[in-house]
Amino acid sequence: MILTVTLNTALDITYRVRSLRPHTSHRVSEVTERPGGKGVNVARVLAALGHEVTVTGFTGGATGRVVQERLASVPGVVDALVPITGATRRTIAVVDDRSGDTTQLNEPGPTVTPAEWSAFQEAYEALLPTASAVALCGSLPPGVPVGAYAGLVRTARSAGIPVLLDTSGEPLRRGVAARPDLIKPNTDELAELTGSHDPVRATQDARRRGAGAVVASLGAEGLLAAAPEGRWRAAPPSSLHGNPTGAGDSAVAGLLSALVEHLPWPDRLTRAVALSAATVSAPVAGEFDRRVYEELLGRVTVTSEASAA
């Protein structure tokens, strides 16, 4: 079982409009709702790849009940969310059909009490013995300590379970110091962590700060990976137009699934890039176009660079 942690779960709502223009009214042509938050998106993709997945984190209020109802209909995903009194947040994606661009609105999330945080930590520790890997994903809701991910990384490592961390800002900085097996920042998050805008130098610096391996998202250019075994770049054959929401989460699912399958790094990166690109082609956040994914598996370019050790 792969365990994904989403401390700031969400109900992802996608609106489609013909053309998004400020200061005007819009007629929405289509509305979709999905259980969301980064770790939930990761879990959905992992399940679609055939892995058993358990989702934990927080859920609360009417929105939280909708998230759990929708999650129950996702094959292969087990709900282990911890209840809280606050209401789960919503995220709104507005897709402009004419340009293909997406505008994202993210609510901050509910305030988590110290007792609720303690309850989550107990639930997390109880789930670890059956986990083959852990993904810690997304932002922290109000009330959760800024060093929360660092503690969760240490707990997983103490149990001998590989852990992937995908967050940003101070939670990432503190989490890296706890020595996660893998982090997956984008270039802005990596620059904020290291102070360097050169991705090659920044990935090496992130490893010196404690990350076992670093896979940096380069947007449409693919991924840059630095690991003890070496350094690689992986790129799709061409840029794809569509909704990029959830593309990074699909890359995390690709990396995590390949890790538990013990695939070599070039195959891990190929899967991650293909899934990410196939997610851009899908109409709804947190989904991927399987036809595009399978087609891209044979077309992703992976090149080896100098050793990152």
- CA-based Rg of the chain, rounded to a whole angstrom? 18
The active-site residue out of 181, 205, 249, 289 is 249
**Residue 188 catalytic?**
no
- Phi, psi torsion values for 159, nearest 5 degrees: -85, 0
User: What is the rounded distance in angstroms from the CA atom of residue 112 to the CA atom of residue 254?
Assistant: 30
The answer to whether residues 191 and 200 touch, using CB atoms and an 8 Å cutoff, is no
User: What is the rounded distance in angstroms from the CA atom of residue 208 to the CA atom of residue 205?
Assistant: 5
The answer to whether residues 64 and 9 touch, using CB atoms and an 8 Å cutoff, is yes
Task: Show Cβ contacts of residue 164 under 8 Å, excluding neighbours closer than 6 positions.
Answer: 133, 134, 135, 136, 180, 181, 182, 183, 184, 252, 255, 256, 259
The 3-state DSSP class for residue 56 equals: strand
Q: Which are the catalytic amino acids?
A: 249
